[in-house]
Amino acid sequence: MILLKRVIKAGFLNFKRNGLVSWAAILIVTITLSVLTSILLLQTVLHSSLDQIKNKVDVTIYFNVGADEDKILSLKESLEKLPEVAEVAYVSDAEALALFRERHKNDYPTIQALDEIGSNPLGGYLNVKAKEISQYESIANFMKSDNALVLGSASIIDKVNYYQNKSVIDRLTNIISGAQKLGFLITLVLVFLSIIITFNTIRLTIFISKEEIGIMRLVGASKLRIRGAFMIEGAIYGIFATFLTLLLFWPVTAWFGRNMTLFLGINMYEYYISNIFQIAIIILLVGVLLGTISSFMAIRKYLNK
């Protein structure tokens, strides 16, 4: 405990003594943590955008006019049991007609022709949403399988629009997969570059103290005593940088929340505030680990002389 107290005290003394150099290191670590926080927020925007795209994709099963509603509901229950299916919505023929009239309320010839028919020319339909875009094909295959035929669905189904939308669904699947891979790659590159810059900055602060390290070695100070003080100093960089990063992103996300919500599809400020504790824990751990590990590696050169 005595050694630990001395190490912590020495770490704070090193931080205070280095003055501007310490604050320069904090600034670099803050930039690193800002990059990390930006990546976390951008990943959230990316996932939100992809979720919106996914929600706009579905497969519609159109039924013949006058199809038995019991058979339709039986098929709906079977689809809901599939592990790939997230939601199945049933629109009856009456509801389909009401929606059609609403969409074409300003198209007088269409409404007039519909009135002249005198009966409902539309059948009901099921809107099927999958959990993942890539799973729509297996749902379409189910509709062609013996399981669907046993339910008597073949006699009531007019068409399934999956094959008309297949090219769009495949294209969206590729876009989503590519966006996720690109986002992961950019994250790795930015984090790697930030770590290198932080490591070199902390190595500079230790280089300034190389003579002091040599003297401590001559008077018999242990490697643990010397290394520990600089690792505590590195942890202090991470702690200060965490608070600066959190303060920096407060007005930044507030501006995005006021001006970019419609464009981004998510209120960045509300997300930041509601998740600030989790974000703080992540960047604090990264900041402290970055500072301590960089200090540990940078001082090794002077302890091995």
CATH topology of domain 65-155: Alpha-Beta Plaits (3.30.70)
Per residue, the 3-state secondary structure of the chain, as one string, reads CHHHHHHHHHHHHHHHHHCHHHHHHHHHHHHHHHHHHHHHHHHHHHHHHHHHHHHCCCEEEEECCCCCHHHHHHHHHHHHCCCCEEEEEEECHHHHHHHHHHHCCCCHHHHHHHHHHCCCCCCCEEEEEECCHHHHHHHHHHHHCHHHHHCCHHHCEEEECHHHHHHHHHHHHHHHHHHHHHHHHHHHHHHHHHHHHHHHHHHHHHHHCHHHHHHHHHCCCCHHHHHHHHHHHHHHHHHHHHHHHHHHHHHHHHHHHHHCHHHHCCCHHHHHHHCHHHHHHHHHHHHHHHHHHHHHHHHHHHHCC
Q: What is the mean pLDDT of residues 7-11?
A: 73
Q: What is the pLDDT of residue 101?
A: 83
Q: How many CB atoms lie within 10 A of CB 198?
A: 26
Let me know the angle formed at the C-alpha of 268 by 174 and 242, rounded to the nearest 5 degrees.
105
Max mean pLDDT among 86-100, 138-152, 177-191, 216-230 falls in 86-100
Per-residue burial over 23-45, b if 16 or more Cβ lie within 10 Å, else e, is eebbebbbbbbbbbbebbbeebb
What's the rounded mean pLDDT across residues 265-284?
88
Higher-pLDDT residue of 50, 275 = 275
Q: Tell me which of 26 and 174 has the higher pLDDT.
A: 26
Average pLDDT for residues 92-100, to the nearest whole number?
85
Q: Where in the sequence of the chain do the CATH 3.30.70.3040 domains occur?
A: 65-155
Percent of the chain at pLDDT > 90 equals: 5
In percent, the amount of the chain with pLDDT more than 70 equals 84
Q: How confident is the model at residue 268 (pLDDT cuts 50, 70, 90)?
A: confident
Q: What is the pLDDT of residue 244?
A: 93
